[in-house]
Amino acid sequence: MTDLIDRYLAAVARDLPEAQRADITAELRDEIMSEIEAREDELGRPLSRSELEADLVAFGHPLVVAGRYRRTRYLIGPEVFPFWWAGLRAALSVVAALHVALIILVIVGGEATAQVVDGAAPSLISTLIFTFGGVTLVCAGIERWGKPRFLARWKPANLPPAQGKTRSRFEILVEIMMGFGVLLWWTGVIHFRNVMPVVELRVDLAPVWRVWFWPIAAYFTGELAMNLHSLLRPGRVRLNRILMLMRNLVGAAILVAVLRDGHIVVVSSPYIPPDVLTQVQANFDRGFRVGLVATILIFLWLSVVQVWRLRQLPKGSD
């Protein structure tokens, strides 16, 4: 029956580190033989083949026994697992926010934008599989090579505040994705439909928007940077709120400058008589002016809210 023990130890040895294989195998042989001798003394007879097999099964599967002697015993161990789970949830939030933003862009942009999205964006299933695999591989690498250094790389000051309302990670991600989409539209990478098919009425931005092209592009870029900072450094509460205050004030200032021109959009149609088109133009300008005034008031109100929240922060807080 020693052939069973030899086969068992050989199976264990195949998965042991080569440098320690002989020593560990000898140690395991002594331990198994000691258990067998104790069982035989207890029974007062040699073990049968089936009893020996049962003892080896109780001792453990060869892969499990060999795993006890490996330097890395887990693909993702108990220390890294919470980071894997948090990272997976964050990555899935990014995927969800991206697809929500793409759906909104397709609804607003129409067929032309849908064709661009279909050609550039991967399918949801492949994105989810890639996300799961990517997060798992990164955490497995941390488990294998960088666990002590990674686990020590954090600061209590970078944690979100214990009190006060803060934006959720999903909310920030949706803002990032939508801001990126608007920036692509503003720079001409993607196009939204600007024709009303029922009356063939075309609506374009007035020349005043071209005057403010670069300030507005800088505004959208700065908003993206601000949201990324809020996402990555939620503990920098004071700085994040100051950045949001600056964003609101800059947005209000740009819209005030545009509003002063009075001519917000340009409407055109080959089928509408000129006198009617002039009235349509006036109605559109009036409606857009009301919208801009409302947006300016919202920006100013949000600025007041940020000032109030800044004043509520305890002294010495980050």
Looking at this protein, which amino acid is placed at residue 60?
G
Secondary structure of 3-51 in the HEC alphabet?
HHHHHHHHHHHCCCCHHHHHHHHHHHHHHHHHHHHHHHHHHCCCCCHHH
CA distance 303 to 130: 40
| pLDDT (0 to 100) of residue 142 | 72
Percent of the chain with pLDDT over 90: 8
pLDDT for 228 equals 85
pLDDT value of position 250: 93
Q: Which of 28-37, 169-178, 239-248 has the lowest mean pLDDT?
A: 169-178
Helix axes 49-59, 21-43, angle to 10 degrees: 130
Q: What is the pLDDT of residues 185-212, one digit of tens each?
A: 788 776 665 555 545 677 778 888 888 8
State the pLDDT at residue 191.
Answer: 64
Range with the lowest mean pLDDT among 78-92, 250-264, 282-296? 78-92
**Gap between the Cα atoms of 45 and 228, Å rounded:** 73
